[in-house]
């Protein structure tokens, strides 16, 4: 009766288990009611974002995804922010900055008393000092080859943004009892106002502690003692600074909620209180915060939804309150259909734009050929067929240096000569060609359907005037061919930052890295040299208007269109305004409210 | 057996090494990870390129880089050593970390879908086999192929529109109009009449009673506002217990075995009695406690089966345990239903429980039942989409396998010795018809883990599929490799497992050394 014995034992075990299960579970202190999640006074809103969060330091190369910058923007404050009209708005409750001198350009940043991190430590000049050290590349003495391999020397902070401005600064001075920082530029710099200090998003005291230093002041003294890097004479790397930089580079990268609170210190209206990797992130009110615009919502939940139509369905099912999906014709149609049913819907022009550039070499070295070709480009037709599916009111872009969102756009297009290219002029093109049938190879990305469509339309129109257009469309590696001379014209896109002017010489100055079509004009160069050292907005605009005219009259190429952006939100939330810049719809998150 | 295993495993390792080398080279050739940086306009472009070159060892030629990767991957073979290194993705995050979260997401999505697809697909397959060439057979075949050929993204859009948005609208005032009640009852009536088989009279009775029952239930549900505060109650639990007792006894021991039937009924009765006993306990439930209760259920069933004695104690025990577990499951479902009003009215749900995206409502707080409901409402649509598309193959395989078996000599023998048709189908034919399906199920689960790419994308699940696709799109080699390794290992392991299980189930098959 072996079976019997086993079964008896099993039976006895069953009784024990029953008792056991009663014992283990009964004292369990698990909350029984769902009332813990009851209503909250300021309410909450759910925002859908395309990319998933992965770093609390959006300044590094690896952490520079748009979503990390948006979270940093919601949890930190700075000296200014950029509004939906692309104006710089100062936040004097946080601190103030003033230009002390024009020559040399000297700016003093002062943070107000009482501004502090969420662990109680003050936000002060040490934080600014660290930000400057990282963003200026002051200590680097590395020499690199074209592929970016370090040949000699040392590279500390892996800053992912543009170092152009702060690279021209000297070692800053800390003053006012550690509350102010004075930056001195060796050369005048037009965009100084947006180059630094907004937001202040990396806590120096936390970095110092992680790098084994006593406190933030010790970190600042370290930064003062390490000499400026000189790539011609690389020195042994400073071990302490190496540790600081390494923590700055990688210590803030995480996809999960850190147990160490010093990783996600806040000095802004919200603080991160929960992360579900690749799914969602929760922002809750930072109760100490009073040095800037007051936020209305108690909490904001960010959900990461990559698929545009999934965002639309989520909005419709009230799982998301605010969405800004990648614009696609079908989701725009869906959103329009929902507009009456508790959903508001805005379209706006993005800061990126597609354009056609002609090489100033080869067949297009002759300005008549350039002009003839540009006369055949059916820009209105391109907009009608490509962009109006998304945005019925879209118009061709008429300026090479301004976007329609900028106030001087309208003034500039009146006299920049763009009027001559509004309508297709096949006869005029034929006259200029005088019987010639030049062969033109156009390069574009085949993967981008907008550009492939644009190519087809341009090809058909140019053929009417006698141009023999060759399809130079390329696959995913198209952009490695920019500027290599394998084509005569290119259709591609630029992203404009919307604020500042330092990107202009990058595109149009003789010999500049991103001047792929070898445009060179002495007058234009002179204007841009002036532009980059002019910080008066009015004078900048004057220079840009002159520049726009020179570029158009050189038959440089044509700006084509801006793909529209889309923002839609539930009528249960208010205060949402679309914005084309980097922060997008987040720019005024403190004004978001729940009805 | 051991020799066979060793041979199969070593072959699998060689296949894995060869395939991973080829895939690594293909991934490396698929694009340039530095491409987006080369076209960047920032002034420190060389440094950014240097960072990424160092991160991904791009200065080493791809065939050699494979061995750097392989050395890190080999560390994964050492358990708990923390030496597992599958490289980093473009954001500098270790791929092992990314893989961990992705696998959890995918497994939760795929396991329920696989189970449901097998259960529903096999049931439909068996029924259509028994009613071969009937209107029901043609209807089910038509629908199975229709769903099979539906593009999943389109099915997903339909599911979201009607299964989530439409159903949530319905839930805000859950009244079923009389016309809808009649329509649903008519459909159920037709299906039941077609499925019943036999003479016209039998069909009319089956169809009529099924239709009437459906109409009655729907009317009650609507009138009693059941959707606002759902529940089963002891009566429904007792009824399902009785049904389970009959069904499982018929399937395992046979209804002629009265001791087994008694055992099953005793288990069902104990279950219903414990329904009242465990309510207080369940209010403070933890996952561990549920598992312990399940273990206790089995042990109690074993006790009952043993005490009833007879010639076939094993039969008693199986029937009683399966019945007990089913009653336990029904009690759990009832408890989840009790939590529904609290979940429904939560401020983060605001009366729209069926979700279209993600795996959980962010920020939702509550006990096991509320969070469990939240998981279920999120899994509902993607699971339905996966089940719809994978049900067809199970239906077809089960149907043909059942037809094969029904023509076997031993089935004829069983009929000849006078067994009731019910016993012949369930005890003799059905169990044997399931065997070929083990192979298909094992391979299918391996495929599902890597194959839910589109479903994941439309429902915003960031699982294995999206890891793979994003990796390819961003020319990010390491996540692609991690995906490949996991899917390849799963496929190889599932194949091996299927062969072994088959040998264990079918005494005619021997695992050759």
pLDDT in tens, A406-456: 888 888 998 888 888 888 999 999 999 988 899 999 999 887 778 888 999
Is the alpha carbon torsion for B88, B89, B93, B99 positive or negative?
negative
End-to-end CA distance of chain A: 74
Lowest-pLDDT range of A13-17, A123-127, A230-234, A318-322: A13-17
CB–CB contact A38 B347 (8 Å): yes
**CA atoms of A299 and A295, how far apart (whole Å):** 9
pLDDT of residue A407: 82
**CA atoms of A442 and A472, how far apart (whole Å):** 5
- What is the pairing mode between strands A173-175 and A180-184? antiparallel
Confidence of residue A26 (pLDDT cuts 50, 70, 90): very low
Chain B nearest CA to A244, separation (Å): 17
Confidence of residue A39 (pLDDT cuts 50, 70, 90): very low
pLDDT of residue A146: 52
- What is the pairing mode between strands A270-276 and A44-49? unpaired
Task: Please tell me if residue A11 touches chain B, with a CB cutoff of 8 Å.
Answer: yes
**CA atoms of A94 and A77, how far apart (whole Å):** 7
Chain B nearest CA to A529, separation (Å): 17
Provide CB contacts within 8 A for A375, sequence distance 6+. Answer: A421, A424, A425, A426, A428, A429, A432, A465
CA distances from B188 to A589, B137, B211, B236 (A): 52, 16, 6, 20
Give pLDDT tens digits for A343-392: 888 888 788 888 999 999 889 999 999 999 999 999 999 998 888 877 77
pLDDT of residue B40: 55
Provide CB contacts within 8 A for B444, sequence distance 6+. Answer: B114, B117, B390, B393
pTM: 0.79
Q: What is the mean pLDDT of residues B21-50?
A: 75
CB–CB contact A144 B47 (8 Å): yes
Facing A506 at nearest CB: one of B41, B165, B339: B41
Q: What is the mean pLDDT of residues A456-466?
A: 92
Confidence of residue A28 (pLDDT cuts 50, 70, 90): very low
pLDDT of residue A7 exceeding 70, the answer is no
**CA atoms of B215 and B389, how far apart (whole Å):** 30
Residue A273 DSSP one-character state? E
Selection from B469, B461, B478 nearest residue B104 by Cα: B461
The residue whose two tokens read 């080859």 is A145
Facing B352 at nearest CB: one of A148, A309, A318: A318
If you average pLDDT over every residue of chain A, what do you get?
85
Nearest CA in chain B to A317: B165
Lowest-pLDDT range of A75-79, A169-173, A414-418, A492-496: A492-496
Facing B313 at nearest CB: one of A3, A22, A32: A3
**42-71 of A, contacting B, C-beta below 8 A:** 44, 46, 52, 54-55, 61-63, 65
Q: Which of A6, A9, A61 to mutate to test the interface with B (most CBs of B within 10 A)?
A: A61
What does the block give as tokens for B227?
């959707």
Task: Please tell me if residue B50 touches chain A, with a CB cutoff of 8 Å.
Answer: yes
CB–CB contact B302 A316 (8 Å): no
Q: What is the mean pLDDT of residues B361-372?
A: 87
pLDDT of residue A32: 34
CB–CB contact A278 B462 (8 Å): yes
**Residue numbers in A near B295 (CB within 8 A):** 17, 21
**257-296 of B, contacting A, C-beta below 8 A:** 281, 283-286, 288-289, 292-293, 295-296
Confidence of residue A4 (pLDDT cuts 50, 70, 90): very low
pLDDT of residue B84: 79
Task: Please tell me if residue B300 touches chain A, with a CB cutoff of 8 Å.
Answer: yes
Give pLDDT tens digits for B419-468: 888 888 888 888 888 888 888 888 777 777 766 788 888 888 878 888 88
The beta-carbon contacts of A96-105 under 8 Å, at least 24 apart in sequence, are A97/A193, A97/A197, A99/A192, A100/A182, A102/A188, A103/A188, A104/A184, A104/A185, A104/A186, A105/A184, A105/A185, A105/A187, A105/A188, A105/A189, A105/A192, A105/A535
Give pLDDT tens digits for A213-228: 999 999 999 999 999 9
Give pLDDT tens digits for B10-25: 999 999 999 999 999 9
> Phi, psi at residue A568, to the nearest 5°?
-135, 145
**Residue numbers in A near B296 (CB within 8 A):** 14, 17-18, 21
Facing B92 at nearest CB: one of A62, A145, A279: A62
Task: Please tell me if residue A282 touches chain B, with a CB cutoff of 8 Å.
Answer: yes
- What is the pairing mode between strands A322-323 and A564-570? antiparallel
Size of interface A-B (CB pairs under 8 A): 259
Nearest CA in chain B to A37: B365
Give pLDDT tens digits for B90-127: 777 788 888 888 888 888 888 888 889 999 999 999 98
pLDDT of residue B422: 80
CB–CB contact B43 A163 (8 Å): yes
Task: Please tell me if residue A22 touches chain B, with a CB cutoff of 8 Å.
Answer: yes
CA distances from A536 to A102, A191, A539, A540, B155 (A): 11, 10, 5, 6, 57
Lowest-pLDDT range of A104-113, A283-292, A562-571, B39-48: B39-48
End-to-end CA distance of chain B: 6
CB B457 within 8 A of CB B466: yes
Q: What is the mean pLDDT of residues B28-57?
A: 72
pLDDT of residue B229 exceeding 90, the answer is no
Q: What is the mean pLDDT of residues B245-269?
A: 87
Facing B357 at nearest CB: one of A32, A144, A314: A314
A321 by DSSP, 3-state: which?
coil
Instruction: Give the E-state strand segments of A103-215 in sequence order.
Output: 105-111, 143-144, 150-152, 173-175, 180-184
CB–CB contact B347 A146 (8 Å): no
Provide CB contacts within 8 A for B242, sequence distance 6+. Answer: B265, B268
**17-46 of B, contacting A, C-beta below 8 A:** 31-32, 34-35, 37-39, 41-46
pLDDT of residue A75 exceeding 90, the answer is yes
Burial of residue A203, with CB atoms counted within 10 A of its CB: 0-12 exposed, 13-18 middle, 19 or more buried: buried
Facing A479 at nearest CB: one of B39, B45, B281: B39
A493-526 per-residue burial string, b: 16 or more CB within 10 A, e: under 16: bbebbbbbbbbbbbbbbeebebbbbebebeebbe
pLDDT of residue A150 exceeding 50, the answer is yes
CB–CB contact B356 A21 (8 Å): no
Task: Please tell me if residue A40 touches chain B, with a CB cutoff of 8 Å.
Answer: yes
CB A95 within 8 A of CB A165: no
Residues in chain B: 513
pLDDT of residue A463: 92
Q: Write the DSSP string, B457-468.
A: HHTT--SHHHHH
**110-129 of A, contacting B, C-beta below 8 A:** none
pLDDT of residue A144: 64
A320 by DSSP, 3-state: which?
coil
pLDDT of residue A27: 36
CB–CB contact A278 B39 (8 Å): no
Confidence of residue B39 (pLDDT cuts 50, 70, 90): low
Chain B nearest CA to A308, separation (Å): 9
Q: Which of A168, A278, A443, A503 to mutate to test the interface with B (most CBs of B within 10 A)?
A: A278
Q: What is the mean pLDDT of residues B273-292?
A: 88
| Helices assigned H by DSSP within A146-294 | 192-195, 204-210, 216-225, 239-250
pLDDT of residue A31: 37
Q: Write the DSSP string, B260-301.
A: HHHHHHHHHHHHHHHHHHHHHHHTT--HHHHHHHHHHHHHHH
If you average pLDDT over every residue of chain B, what do you get?
86
**CA atoms of A226 and A123, how far apart (whole Å):** 23
**Residue numbers in B near A281 (CB within 8 A):** 362
pLDDT of residue A408: 86
A350 by DSSP, 3-state: which?
coil
Confidence of residue A544 (pLDDT cuts 50, 70, 90): very high
pLDDT of residue B183: 94
pLDDT of residue B29 exceeding 90, the answer is no
List the beta bridge partners of residue A354.
A493, A561
- What is the pairing mode between strands A105-111 and A95-102? antiparallel
Chain A nearest CA to B195, separation (Å): 38
Chain A nearest CA to B66, separation (Å): 20
Selection from A319, A156, A345, A328 nearest residue A242 by Cα: A156
> Phi, psi at residue A182, to the nearest 5°?
-115, 125
Residues in chain A: 595
**CA atoms of A468 and A462, how far apart (whole Å):** 8
Which uninterrupted H or E stretch holds B509? none
Nearest CA in chain A to B342: A34
pLDDT of residue B451: 62
**Residue numbers in A near B464 (CB within 8 A):** none
Task: Please tell me if residue A152 touches chain B, with a CB cutoff of 8 Å.
Answer: no
Confidence of residue A148 (pLDDT cuts 50, 70, 90): low
**CA atoms of A169 and B185, how far apart (whole Å):** 80
ipTM: 0.77
**CA atoms of A21 and A26, how far apart (whole Å):** 8
A433 by DSSP, 3-state: which?
helix
pLDDT of residue A145: 58
CB–CB contact B39 A482 (8 Å): yes
Which residue would you say has higher pLDDT here, B175 or B37?
B175
CB B479 within 8 A of CB B18: no
Confidence of residue A247 (pLDDT cuts 50, 70, 90): very high
Which residue would you say has higher pLDDT here, A278 or B187?
B187
Confidence of residue A526 (pLDDT cuts 50, 70, 90): very high
pLDDT of residue A290: 93
**60-99 of B, contacting A, C-beta below 8 A:** 90-93, 97-98
**CA atoms of B386 and B472, how far apart (whole Å):** 23
Task: Please tell me if residue B10 touches chain A, with a CB cutoff of 8 Å.
Answer: no
């Amino acid at each position: 009766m072996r079976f019997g014995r086993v079964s008896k034992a099993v039976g006895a075990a069953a009784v024990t288990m029953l008792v056991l299960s009663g014992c283990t579970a009964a004292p369990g202190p698990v909350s029984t009611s769902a009332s813990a999640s009851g209503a909250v006074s300021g309410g909450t809103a759910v925002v859908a974002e395309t990319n998933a969060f992965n770093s609390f330091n959006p300044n590094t190369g690896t952490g520079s995804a748009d979503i990390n910058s948006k979270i940093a923007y919601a949890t930190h404050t700075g000296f200014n922010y950029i509004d939906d009209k692309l104006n710089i708005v100062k936040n004097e409750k946080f601190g103030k900055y003033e230009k002390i001198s024009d020559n040399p350009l000297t700016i003093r940043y002062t943070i107000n008393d009482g501004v502090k991190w969420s662990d109680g430590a003050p936000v002060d000049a040490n934080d600014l000092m660290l930000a400057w050290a990282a963003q200026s590349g002051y200590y680097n003495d590395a020499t690199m080859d074209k592929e970016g391999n370090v040949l000699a020397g040392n590279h500390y902070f892996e800053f992912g943004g543009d170092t152009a401005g702060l690279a021209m600064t000297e070692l800053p001075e800390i003053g006012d009892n550690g509350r102010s920082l004075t930056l001195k530029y060796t050369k005048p710099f037009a965009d100084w106002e947006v180059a630094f200090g907004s937001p202040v998003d990396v806590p120096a005291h936390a970095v110092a502690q992680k790098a084994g230093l006593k406190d933030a002041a010790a970190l600042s003294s370290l930064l003062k003692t390490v000499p400026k890097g000189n790539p011609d004479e690389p020195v042994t790397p400073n071990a302490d600074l190496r540790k600081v930089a390494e923590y700055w580079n990688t210590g803030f990268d995480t996809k999960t909620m850190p147990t160490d609170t010093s990783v996600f210190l806040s000095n802004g209206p919200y603080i991160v209180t929960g992360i579900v990797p690749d799914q969602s992130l929760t922002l809750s009110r930072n109760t100490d915060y009073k040095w800037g615009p007051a936020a209305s919502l108690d909490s904001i939940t960010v959900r990461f939804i990559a698929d545009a139509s999934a965002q639309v369905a989520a909005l419709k099912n009230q799982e998301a309150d605010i969405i800004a999906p990648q614009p696609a014709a079908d989701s725009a149609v869906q959103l329009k259909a929902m507009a009456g049913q508790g959903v508001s819907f805005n379209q706006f022009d993005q800061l990126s734009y597609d354009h056609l550039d002609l090489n100033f070499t080869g067949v297009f070295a002759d300005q008549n050929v350039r002009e003839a070709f540009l006369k055949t480009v059916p820009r209105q037709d391109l907009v009608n067929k490509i962009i109006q599916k998304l945005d019925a009111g879209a118009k061709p872009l008429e300026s090479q240096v301004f976007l329609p969102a900028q106030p001087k756009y309208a003034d500039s297009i009146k006299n920049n000569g763009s009027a001559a290219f509004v309508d297709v002029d096949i006869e005029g093109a034929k006259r200029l060609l005088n019987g010639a049938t030049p062969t033109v190879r156009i390069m574009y990305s085949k993967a981008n359907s907008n550009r492939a469509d644009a190519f087809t339309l341009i090809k058909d129109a140019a053929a009417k005037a006698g141009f023999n257009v060759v399809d130079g469309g390329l696959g995913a590696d198209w952009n490695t061919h920019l500027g290599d001379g394998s084509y005569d014209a290119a259709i591609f896109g630029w992203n404009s930052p919307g604020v500042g002017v330092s990107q202009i010489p990058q595109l149009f100055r003789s010999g500049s890295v991103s001047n792929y079509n070898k445009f060179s004009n002495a007058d234009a160069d002179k204007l841009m040299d002036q532009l980059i050292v002019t910080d008066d907005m009015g004078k900048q605009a004057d220079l840009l208007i002159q520049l726009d005219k020179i570029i158009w009259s050189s038959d440089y190429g044509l700006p084509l269109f801006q793909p529209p952006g889309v923002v839609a939100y539930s009528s249960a939330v208010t205060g949402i305004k679309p914005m084309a810049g980097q922060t997008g719809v987040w720019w005024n998150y403190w004004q978001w409210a729940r009805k | 057996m051991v020799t066979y295993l060793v041979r199969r495993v070593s072959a699998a390792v060689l296949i894995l090494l060869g395939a991973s080398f080829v895939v690594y080279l293909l991934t490396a050739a698929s694009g340039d990870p530095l491409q987006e940086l080369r076209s960047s306009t920032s002034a420190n472009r060389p440094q950014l390129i240097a960072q990424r070159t160092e991160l991904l060892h791009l200065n080493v030629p791809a065939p050699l880089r494979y061995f750097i990767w392989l050395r890190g991957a080999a560390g994964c073979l050492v358990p708990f050593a923390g030496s597992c290194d599958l490289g980093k993705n473009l954001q500098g995050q270790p791929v092992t970390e990314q893989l961990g979260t992705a696998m959890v997401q995918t497994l939760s999505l795929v396991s329920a879908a696989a189970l449901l697809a097998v259960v529903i697909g096999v049931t439909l397959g068996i029924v259509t086999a028994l009613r071969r060439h009937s209107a029901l057979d043609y209807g089910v075949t038509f629908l199975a192929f229709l769903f099979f050929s539906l593009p999943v993204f389109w099915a997903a859009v339909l599911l979201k529109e009607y299964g989530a948005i439409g159903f949530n609208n319905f839930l805000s005032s859950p009244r079923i109009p009389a016309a809808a009640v009649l329509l649903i009852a008519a459909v159920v009536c037709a299906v039941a009449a077609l499925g019943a088989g036999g003479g016209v009279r039998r069909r009319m009775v089956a169809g009529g009673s099924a239709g009437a029952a459906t109409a009655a239930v729907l009317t009650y549900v609507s009138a009693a506002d059941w959707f606002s505060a759902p529940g089963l109650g002891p009566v429904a639990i007792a009824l399902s217990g009785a049904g389970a007792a009959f069904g499982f006894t018929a399937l395992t021991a046979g209804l002629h075995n009265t001791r087994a039937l008694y055992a099953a009924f005793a288990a069902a009765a104990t279950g219903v009695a414990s329904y009242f006993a465990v309510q207080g306990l369940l209010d403070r439930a933890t996952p561990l406690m549920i598992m312990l209760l399940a273990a206790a259920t089995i042990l109690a069933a074993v006790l009952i089966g043993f005490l009833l004695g007879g010639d076939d104690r094993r039969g008693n025990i199986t029937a009683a345990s399966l019945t007990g577990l089913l009653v336990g499951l029904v009690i759990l479902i009832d408890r989840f239903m009790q939590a529904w009003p609290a979940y429904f009215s939560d401020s983060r749900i605001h009366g729209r429980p069926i979700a279209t995206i993600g795996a959980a409502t962010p920020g939702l707080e509550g006990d096991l039942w509320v969070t469990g409901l939240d998981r279920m409402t999120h899994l509902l649509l993607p699971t339905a989409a996966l089940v719809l598309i994978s049900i067809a193959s199970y239906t077809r395989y089960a149907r043909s396998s059942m037809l094969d078996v029904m023509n076997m000599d031993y089935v004829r023998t069983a009929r000849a010795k006078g067994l009731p048709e019910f016993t012949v189908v369930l005890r003799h034919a059905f169990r044997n018809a399931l065997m070929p399906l083990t192979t298909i199920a094992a391979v299918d689960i391996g495929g599902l883990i890597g194959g839910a790419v589109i479903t994941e994308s439309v429902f915003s699940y960031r699982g294995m599929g999206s890891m793979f696709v994003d990796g390819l799109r961003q020319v990010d080699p390491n996540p692609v490799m991690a995906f490949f390794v996991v899917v390849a290992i799963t496929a190889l392991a599932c194949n091996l497992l299927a062969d072994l299980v088959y040998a264990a189930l079918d005494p005619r098959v021997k695992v050759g050394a």
